[in-house]
A and B are shown apart, each in its own frame.
Chain A
Amino acid sequence: MAVYTLSFFAHAYETAWAVRAPQSDEASSANLMTKTLDYTRTEKVARIATAMMILGFLLLFAGVIARGLSAHRVPWGNMYEFSITGALAFTGAYLGALRKYDLRWLGLLVSIAVLLTLGTAVAVLYRPSAPLVPALKSTWLVIHVSAAIISGGVFLLANVIAAAYLYLDSMESKGPRSAWAQRLPSLEVLDQLSYRLVAFVFPLWTFAVIAGAIWAESAWGRYWGWDPKETWAFITWVAYAAYLHARVTIGWRGRRAAWLCLFAGSTFLFNYIYVNIYGTGKHTYSGL
């Protein structure tokens, strides 16, 4: 009980930190908008924002671990737990990509998305920690769900970048970028980046689907049954496969590729939100 209250506080604490991260980032964009262009100052603020993000990541990580401890199992049994872990994976994907590319312009969007997810999770989806139903008691839970959540985090990051691409593209077609957007990388970089993220994580998603099939074989007696969740996982897979083919083989770039990427990402989100709440398949365990 105590541990589980602790986990709740950890989330609340994390949320408070995350709120400060976008503020500081906003400050940095505000500086650019007023064209003071004091780079040393914004650099400092941006650094603080990133540090906050890392701190938030660590706290959320601790929160997820605490949740697992309080339930004596991996914390992936219901939608509240998926959401907090998903937010963790999304932040992780952002921070991971940050090591290689300067993505700090994305920080504002990422932190807002994480905040919204955590807010919904705590306010709407919260359930006291409870043991798993027998069907979920399997090693495959850890393997299947972690692969799916990590892929989800990276897919969404690629999606946000593709959306940024489309927005900047329409801005550029009307004229030069406005001041705040000049700090953002060029369209080609965004295009490449979202492609790399998808190509990187597509095998993992394939693995998540196959691991799910192996588990379904031992739990439900068939490895594939067109359960709504399975169907949508398949649709997501097909959509990203189409995206990769369109890029590598046909040579789609830019706007068309970004739209396809957004479409594929939305099938993933639809699967997570709609199928979990309104779906009637075997993936629905009571209490979301």
Chain B
Amino acid sequence: MTNEIEIPELGALGLFRYSWRQLTSMRTALILLLMLGVASIPGSLIPQRDQNPMKVTQYFTNSPGAARWMDRFSLFDVYGSPWFSAIYILLFISLIGCVLPRSIEHFHAARALPPVTPKNLQRMEFYDTWDSNGSELDRAHSWLKSSHFRILKTDNSISAEKGFTRETGNLFFHLSLILILVGVGFGSLFGMRGEAIVNVGERFINVPTTYDSLTFGKLFSEKDLPPFVITVDKFVAKYNPVTNMPEDYTLWVTEVEKPGAPAVKKIIKVNHPLTFGSTNVYLQANGYSPIVTVRDKVGNVALQGPIPFLPQDGNLRSIGAIKVPDTKPQIGFVASFLPTQARDALRGGISVFPEALDPKLLFSVWRGDLALDKGIPQSVYRIDTSKMERIGLHSLKPGETFSYDGGSITFEGIVPWVNLQVVRDPGKTYALLGGIVAILGLLASLFTRRRRIWIRINDEGRVEVAGLAKNAAPGLEEEIKKLVRLLNGEK
């Protein structure tokens, strides 16, 4: 015998077990849950790259120092940041560690019979007793059975239990949250998202080079793009004549699902995307492409076709750049397009309605080096005029031509463009299923009560009835009164 106090050796396994217990405890889960809520706040107040890349860039130009530091803490990509991921991964591990053992336990408990009637029923809630006439147990049994109680019957007593749906629903709710997370993860690994501007009359072929922007999930390869072809036939935008707000966008297309398949006419609207399996094609934005013809000084065509312009406001005043790289020296037009032109004393040329009722193309002509060969990606809507000189300023209506020193430009007309967004998300079905199960589970767990009822005829020939409600759920008193009335009433 020694008086030494043995300090238990924790060891690697012990340490793991200790941290596992801590992590799966309810208190930790609750703290993680609240942390998740708090952690999502900054992302809604600080502009995020995913939603608003322009504002992020603005931040960097306005206060570069602060922005650099904020970027170091991923404050512009909060929802993909290491610390945000850490919180939700820990939360889900904690959730799994809590829910899985409980599910197994519940699975066994749900198949077991209710516990034997306790000795001292007087101590329970809603105790009632009266002289027996002998038939109470049988009648109680049939009543409990018709109310779907699970029943354990012995010679002189019945023990009944109901409300297992509560825990079942609770577990299903939490398991479905895991399913949602799996769906989200699956979608981001195997999904893709891309955008392309297509002029009305043109074709969109689903290969990577047709996209203006394209992002893949880590496990998605270019070969997985479904080989469809969409021809944009017609686009109609309706606007409210009073508020100028859009009322309806309709896009008529012809789709060919794969090479050799028949061409099918379809309509795409804002809430009705085109579907190819788990790939959807959305109508996301629209604008105008002025059709221009640029000629050199001899009269040869140097450039011809529709040029998409970028809308700047609700009335679709749009800016754009017409770049003519094949003339020597190169020619560029810094232009803006007004669908329904008007003049404003302060802002100059403006558009007063989004439909092309009185279109006008305003531009300045630049000559020199477009700087296209440097390998630096350029915006198609802007021109780097640092190595160019301005040689003219003019505006044109459809059909008109403007001649400048070295060539001419003709404004032939306009054609609308649409921005097609192609999204593949194979995980969304799981997420949706998870969402539905979550609600059903939640309803089951919040609106069922778990309770036990006991009936016994004791040695003195008296009936004893008592009950116990878990979580102090209300309503058991009424239920027992009803049972007592039933058993008592026919005496």
Contacts and interface: CB of A to CB of B under 8 A. Distances in A.
Interface of A: 130-135, 137-138, 140, 199-200, 202-203, 206-207, 210, 213-215, 217-228, 231-232, 234-235, 238-239, 241-242, 245-246, 248-250, 267, 275, 279-281, 286-287
A199 B129 CA distance: 35
A137 B280 CA distance: 19
A207 B43 CA distance: 23
28 contacts: A130-B240, A133-B247, A134-B246, A135-B271, A140-B271, A203-B442, A203-B446, A206-B438, A217-B428, A219-B271, A221-B193, A221-B280, A221-B282, A221-B421, A221-B423, A223-B432, A224-B184, A225-B50, A228-B44, A228-B45, A231-B43, A238-B34, A238-B37, A245-B29, A280-B47, A280-B52, A281-B51, A286-B314
A270 to B, nearest CB: 10
B79 interface: yes
Interface of B: 26-27, 29-30, 33-34, 36-37, 40-41, 43-45, 47-48, 50-52, 55, 78-79, 184, 193, 240, 242-243, 245-249, 269-273, 280, 282, 284, 314, 421, 423, 425, 428, 431-432, 435-436, 438-439, 442-443, 446, 471
A126 to B, nearest CB: 15
A41 B133 CA distance: 53
A235 B35 CA distance: 10
Chain A interface main SS type: helix
B51 A226 contact: yes
A279 B435 CA distance: 27
B51 A225 contact: yes
Contact of B446 (A202, A218, A225, A280): A202
A206 B439 contact: yes
Contacts of A210: 435-436, 438-439
A214 B432 contact: yes
Contact of B37 (A134, A203, A235): A235
A279 B425 CA distance: 27
A218 B428 CA distance: 12
B439 A207 contact: yes
A223 B314 CA distance: 26
B79 A226 contact: yes
A4 to B, nearest CB: 13
A135 B285 CA distance: 11
B44 A275 contact: yes
Contacts of A281: 51
Nearest to A275: B44
B439 A231 contact: no
B270 A135 contact: yes
B43 A245 contact: no
B40 A134 contact: no
A40 B460 CA distance: 52
A278 to B, nearest CB: 9
A279 B47 CA distance: 10
B276 to A, nearest CB: 14
Given A134-B247, A226-B79, 12 more contacts: A131-B247, A140-B271, A200-B446, A202-B446, A203-B439, A206-B438, A210-B435, A210-B436, A219-B271, A223-B425, A228-B45, A234-B40
A227 B48 CA distance: 9
Nearest to B280: A221
A130 B44 contact: no
Contacts of A214: 432, 435
Contact of B284 (A221, A223, A249): A221
B37 A239 contact: yes
Nearest to A240: B37
B175 to A, nearest CB: 15
Shortest 9 CB-CB contacts between residues of A and residues of B: A238-B37, A210-B435, A231-B44, A228-B44, A134-B270, A203-B442, A138-B271, A221-B282, A221-B423
